[in-house]
Structure formats: C-alpha cells, structure tokens
Amino acid sequence: MTSKDLIEMLNKAISLELQVSIQYMWQHVRIYGFNHLAIAEELKKIAIEEMQHAESIAERVDYLGGIPTTNPAKITVGDTPESMITNDMMAEEETMDFYRTIIEKAANEKDYVTRELFEDILADEEDHHNIFRTLLEK
C-alpha cells in the first residue's frame, strides 16, 4: 500500500506541473522580438506536455485514494526572453531533482507503477531542460 507521504509528494508534483504549464503557456503568449516565434511554439508544445504530466499524476493520486491538488506552485514568468528561459531551466532542474526522490521513494515502497510513471516523466523533463539550456547557449 502506498504511503500518505508518497501521495503528498505526488500532489507536490502536480503543483509543479501546473506551475510550469501555466508559466510556459503565458510565456508563449508574452515572448516578443525577432527570432522568437520558434521559441514561442516550443514553449506552447512543452506547456501542453506539462499539463499532460499533471493529468497522469492526478490520475495516479486518485487511484491511490488521494485527492489531486488543483493549486500550482509559484509561477515566475520573467520580463525578457532570456529571463523567461532561465526561470524555465531552473524550474526543470528543481522538478528533475524532486522526481528522482519520488522514484526512489516509490521503489522503496514497491509501488512500481508510480516509479515507472515518474521515470517516463523524468525523461521528458530532461528533454525540456536540454531545450532551455540549448536556447540559452546561443
């Protein structure tokens, strides 16, 4: 049986996914300037992926008997394209570290479905982080 602690961690994960889905979608709308159309489209694509992560995690929380949160973590948009992408990269780093903790906890509790879900999501987060890092490298 999955612990209450793990369900709380999954709800925090939902908060992080909601945060970045809103953050990236808002940035998609607010990013301006020459050469930023491609970045805007990438932000929109990633925002949708993050919302799908939130949905998958919420379904898992519900299955485990918890109530999925609807509250996002603190959203940080940024004023320039560079500050936006820097904020996004930092959000991905925080999330990746946290998801590694969830994977370890789920494995310790023999909750292999949750572990596998977060291994898959972690791979996506690493891809997002790589996109943001590459954008900042110029």
Section 107-116 average pLDDT: 97
Section 108-135 average pLDDT: 97
This prediction has a pTM of 0.94
Confidence at residue 127, expressed as pLDDT on a 0 to 100 scale: 98
Query: pLDDT category, 132, cuts 50, 70, 90?
Result: very high
Per CATH, which fold does 4-137 belong to? Ferritin (1.20.1260)
Taking only the tens place, the pLDDT of each residue in 69-92 is 999 999 999 889 999 999 999 999
CB within 8 A of 38, min separation 6: which ones?
A: none
Nearest to 106 by CA among 36, 34, 1: 1
